[in-house]
A and B are shown apart, each in its own frame.
Chain A
């Protein structure tokens, strides 16, 4: 079965640079979630989108922005990168509409390293 696709899988950036992470949800899934997992930490919710509209927002820095496109893929844009942004970034998707089970399935993650 098709899974959530994230690209790139690894990304190395310098401080103050910009990064863009991409997420392609499972086909037919209508909701996308972004999570950040720091070293030795549990995943923390950043933001979610349902049918291309932002549906919830967590502790996402103002330097970060995200959107969901007409084909349901999502991008997380991160500017003015800081050392503390180094983490594993997960995208998850679920089927929420039409009485879907709304269970979140995770992609493999993008490991971002800020030097």
Chain B
């Protein structure tokens, strides 16, 4: 069975600084997708970024980028120029490559942003 682990329950960053959230996963599959979702105090689950395992290039979305190390089964999220609105719970998630697969989430990392 696939598992996702986020070893940092809480992280803190100064506004305008850069922070990296860690995520590791375990799978025997070769085809899969990885995601980062953000859950602010409103509890809405918001997609931040998506990475296809077959792509070597790391995904980037504006200030958000990932460091995908397939051999190490590591998928970290880097947030550049942190803003107060980035404060939220961040979940790393895994999905099998077959269509319609369920998301398997990590435990989450609570990010606080200091002004």
Interfacial residues, chain A to chain B (CB-CB below 8 A): 31, 33, 35, 42-45, 48, 50, 55-56, 58, 88, 90, 92, 94, 96, 102-106, 108-109, 111
| Chain B residue contacts of A105, Cβ below 8 A | 47
Contact B99 A102 (CB under 8 A): yes
Interface-lining segment among B11-19, B64-72, B101-109: B101-109
- Count of B residues near A, CB < 8 Å? 21
Q: List 18 A-B contacts (CB under 8 A).
A: A31-B100, A33-B103, A42-B105, A42-B106, A42-B107, A42-B108, A43-B103, A45-B103, A55-B100, A58-B102, A92-B103, A94-B100, A96-B99, A96-B100, A104-B47, A105-B47, A106-B46, A109-B43
Q: Does B25 contact A (CB under 8 A)?
A: no
Is chain A's interface secondary structure helix, strand, loop, or mixed overall?
A: strand
How far apart sit A94 and B95, CA to CA, in the bound complex (Å)?
13
How far apart sit A47 and B91, CA to CA, in the bound complex (Å)?
20
Per-residue CB contact flags for chain B residues 85-105 toward chain A (1 = under 8 Å, else 0) read 000000100010001111111
A106 nearest in chain B by CB position: B45
